[in-house]
Structure formats: structure tokens, C-alpha cells
Chains A and B, each alone.
Chain A
């Protein structure tokens, strides 16, 4: 028998699993027996999705969703006691990080954060990281005992398929009584139904301060749609209010590693490069020939985005029809 890998799956406010579930379960199945923990209402939606994505066993715990993180950690602690896993995998999302932090502190376990892969050798579970903006590949492990791993959303391509006879078990949880913040009101973010998510996207088109305005930034969206790409941005574009903060690529934003990255009106500051320099192919359009982004670009175009990009979109459309 292989060792258990406990996976905390996150649910959206509407009760289905978030998109990180497939990668987490894919990663877990590759190194052991995937035991999923779903914390939420028992309407069967999330546990069914977990089984479809490869969970071999699902633990279902109810929790007070108005209390931030603590009930989830109480459930995680109970699940850990039940299955004695070799590793606990969570998403490196805001909620996943909070749960990982509290849980690791409670059990005094080591944490490996922002992993882009997990492996195992004869000594135990290893986490792979892409450090300092992709400048280094680092592997980490626990000196002894289980490792808590937060996994970068979108970084894992491995997918698992459903196994026959996957069981759903109810997990009783004793509340720890640790004080928690209250969620007074929650507003789900409406994701674009047509565009891919930035994390894990195969192609990304990003815009910077060079787009000049919210109206100007629409050009980034047009090219993204022509390429079936996700939309990203520099911090300057976020600060200027052209796009929501969730689109920020870079050191303090999202790290992406797509097949194609197109930077429009972005100078290529070191903090921006830290979030995109591992892309396979980089294209940049900037009117300043000295812009540092050109040092990374496979194809650099010195020109005005407002003339180059509409011409490119028209050419793509012409070639298609």
C-alpha cells in the first residue's frame, strides 16, 4: 500500500471546487493515495467533483463558513489524525496559505511553500520550487516526518482520473475554540466566462502603463481574445486602475510560465520580469528601444502599440478567414 497524501480542496462561495483541485489531486496521485478533504455543506457536489478529479477517498466535514480559516484547520487536523499522511497538499492561494500556516503551526510541521511540483524518493516527499522569479530550481524536504506543501495554482499539469469505489466518509470535527475572524459579507468574483484564467494559462497578453487608459487597455483584451489568451498587467497598469489587482504579473503578483507571453507597453522592470521570464516565447511591443523587456524578448517590436497591435489583429483575422 502506498502512503496517504492528504489534500485540502477549496470550494467557491457557491459550493463547487475551485480550479486548483485537479492539479492538487493529480500531484497527490503521483506520489501516493489521494485522500481529499472537503469542508462545506454536504450536498454531494464538491465530493462528486473530487472523485471525478481522482480522489481515492473523500473526507467530508461540515464547518461554519462565517468563521475564517479556523474551522477548516480544525477539520484538517481531524483528517490528519485519521489518515496519518506523508504529506498535506494545499493550494498556494490566500485561503490555502492561511490554512497551511495555522495547521503547520498547530502540529509543528515544516512547510514547503509555492511548490511547482511534488515528488517522492525513498526518504519521503520532496517539493520543487521555482525561486527568485524562476532564476533557480530548488528542491525541499522535511528533515523528518510529514511535509505541508502549498502548491502554486496552475503549475501542475498532471491530472488523475476517477477510480472505482472511491468512498465518501463523514468526518466529525471537534471545534478547537481558537478565536477566528468573522466573514460578515462575501461577494464572489465573477470570472470572465470566455477567457482562460491567468494562472496556468497557455498564453498571456499583458498590458502596462503604455496603454494609457482603461479605454486603451481594451486593446490588450482584443489581442488576448484573438489568441485565446489570458489577460495580465504590470503593477503600474493596476495602480492606474486599468485592470483589477488580480491581473498583476510579477514578483508581488501572479507568476506565470505560459507558452506565449506578450508584453504590451510594459518597460520590463525587474519585478515584472520575475513573474514572466520563464515563459517559452516572449513578444514585446514598446516604443522605447531601450526598454529592458527587449532583453528577454524572442521577438521585440519597437513601435506604438496602438498601430502595431490593431494591424496584427487584423492580419490574424485575415489569415484565418
Chain B
């Protein structure tokens, strides 16, 4: 069983995230980057399976600038067996469609029985990538899973949407995405960190994948305007002296909020 986990290098959510007002792109220099928490959970699903299935192979794949190396290293230190890093100048500012095309080409080249992704990345929060990949690869998808059971020829789980909870199952090969209802990722051990340095690591360019980022070939989604909203100013803070509930009610009524 070959399981590929897609890991994204994202701005740490604990810091302020900033957009460049000229380009509309995330400013990588403005905040520290980390392996997205949701992808750590995706990796945990794969590693938990591998813990009891010695023939399972777990590959971490990321499309990101060179500076994302620590993110892939972390995935290896947590226990992934190998990593693939897609890096290319041409991918700077890539939109979702190009990202999906490139990641699908990478997955086709690497080979997989199961692809696991996060349901929503914390920076893009687009949540469309897993389905895009499944379509490019012509395989089934099962998204937003809050439980996952992996078998030899199928993957199944609980899929929660805004209107229903469903039991779904997909024949392998398949793409699944998981939600934060699944457990946190494990911490890398010291042994894991040392072992990570010796694990197979492949770096691929667009040319290696036999594709390009030519904006004339396919349409792109681009940003046409970006503006920062003014920060919110704090109002009044009072300390309860026995009447704060009354004052809360008065505030609501005076502001016609109740």
C-alpha cells in the first residue's frame, strides 16, 4: 500500500498573516512558515496505518518554494518514508488550477494507492484541491472524512457536510481529505529527526514533470485588487461589580441589538 500525503507549507497561524498589497500574494518573509496542522493530521492517519502494516509506504509531497524544506523534513521526522518537493520559479503565484495540475502530475509520477490531504488548508482554505486532483487522476474521492478506515482495495469513512452525515466508501486508488476531528500529528522523536536526514528525498521541477506554467496555455485566476481593512479599535471594558449583567442588557437595548 503506497500512501501519499500532501503537505502544505503555510504561514504559522499564531502570527499575523500579511498579503503583499502590490502582488496580492502572501508575504513569505512576514511570518514564520510551518507544516499545516491539518496536514499533520493527514500524515498521522497514514502513519497510524503504517504502524500496523509494515508493507505500507508513506510519501510526503509538497509543492512549495525552496524555503519550505523544513516542512518536508518535519514530515520525514514524523515518520514518512520519503519526500518529494516540487520547486520551480515558474510556480510563484500559481493559482489553484495550476497547483492541482502540477500536484496531479507529481502523483502520477510517484504512483499511489491512496492520497490523503487536509480538507482545508489554513492559508488558502479553498478546499477544492482534493476533488481537482481526483478528477485529473480519474480516481474516486471521499472528502471531509472525520473517520477513516483503510483496507486493501477500498477506503471508507464518515463524511460530514452542512446538511448530512454519510458513510462513504471509495475503491482504491482514491483521494481522500480529512477534517480536524481526526487526531493531532505525532511529535517527531530525536531518532526520527536523525533518520530523516537519510531518507529518500526527491526535488522536481516543472520540466521534470513534463509541464510548464505558461499563462497563455490555460486561464489563471488572478487578483485584480487588494486592500487592507483598517484594524478594529477596542471599545470599553468594564469589571463586573455585581451589575455587569444589567449593563450588558442596557447596552444591547440601547444599541437596538436586543
Residues of A within 8 A of B (CB): 10, 12-13, 18, 68-70, 73, 92-95, 97-106, 108-114, 126, 131-132, 134-145, 147, 150, 153, 178-189, 199, 203, 226-227, 235, 245-246, 251-252, 259-260, 270-271, 274, 277-278, 281-283, 285, 289, 294-304, 307-316, 319
Contact = CB atoms under 8 A, between A and B. Distances in A.
A126 B127 CA distance: 20
B163 A188 contact: yes
B185 interface: no
Contact of B252 (A94, A98, A153, A227): A227
9 contacts: A102-B132, A105-B104, A113-B126, A184-B167, A227-B257, A270-B13, A297-B234, A312-B248, A315-B246
Contact of A312 (B15, B139, B246): B246
B248 A178 contact: no
Contacts of B134: 101-102
A277 B133 CA distance: 33
Nearest to A133: B17
Interface in B175-223: 179-181, 215, 218-223
B126 A114 contact: yes
Which 8 residue pairs are nearest across A and B when measured between Cβ atoms? Answer: A311-B245, A303-B240, A101-B131, A300-B237, A315-B249, A110-B221, A101-B128, A298-B235
Contacts of A111: 95-97, 126, 128, 221
Contacts of A182: 168-170
B190 to A, nearest CB: 28
Interface in B53-72: none
Nearest to A314: B245
A181 B244 contact: no
A94 B126 contact: no
A136 B169 contact: no
A143 B220 contact: yes
Interface string B229-258: 100101111111001111111111101011
Contacts of A297: 234-235, 237
B248 A295 contact: no
Contact of B240 (A95, A110, A134, A302): A302
Contacts of B129: 101
Contacts, number: 301
A102 B258 contact: no
B258 A227 contact: yes
Interface stretch (B42-50, B75-83, B141-149): B141-149
Where chain B touches its partner, the secondary structure class is mixed
A135 B228 contact: yes
Contact of B226 (A100, A138, A314): A138
Given A139-B225, A227-B252, A184 B244 contact: no
Contacts of B229: 134-137, 278
Contacts of A271: 13
Nearest to B256: A259
A245 B161 CA distance: 11
B120 interface: yes
A200 B240 CA distance: 32
Q: Which of B97, B128, B229, B239 has the most CB of A within 10 A?
A: B128
Given A312-B246, A314-B245, A179 B223 contact: no
Given A101-B131, A101-B132, A179-B138, A94 B144 contact: yes
B218 A108 contact: yes
A171 B124 CA distance: 34
A215 to B, nearest CB: 20
Given A98-B143, A104-B96, 6 more contacts: A98-B131, A137-B225, A139-B224, A140-B221, A271-B13, A312-B252
Contacts of A179: 138-140, 170-171, 174
Nearest to B17: A132
B220 A183 contact: no
Contacts of A313: 245
Given A189-B163, A319-B249, A101 B130 contact: yes
Given A136-B19, A203-B257, A283-B248, A153 B13 contact: no
Contacts of B170: 68, 179-182
Contacts of B133: 105
B135 interface: yes
A313 to B, nearest CB: 8
Contacts of B16: 270
B237 A294 contact: yes
Given A179-B140, A296-B232, A310 B245 contact: yes
Given A302-B240, A308-B245, A144 B252 contact: no
A251 B13 contact: yes
A145 B232 CA distance: 38
Which of B131, B166, B225, B251 is the most central at the interface, judged by chain A CB atoms within 10 Å of its CB?
Answer: B131
B127 to A, nearest CB: 5
B164 A186 contact: yes
A304 B234 CA distance: 21
B73 to A, nearest CB: 24
Nearest to A255: B125
A101 B243 CA distance: 53
B257 to A, nearest CB: 5
A277 B244 contact: no
Given A126-B224, A289-B237, A316-B252, A110 B232 contact: no
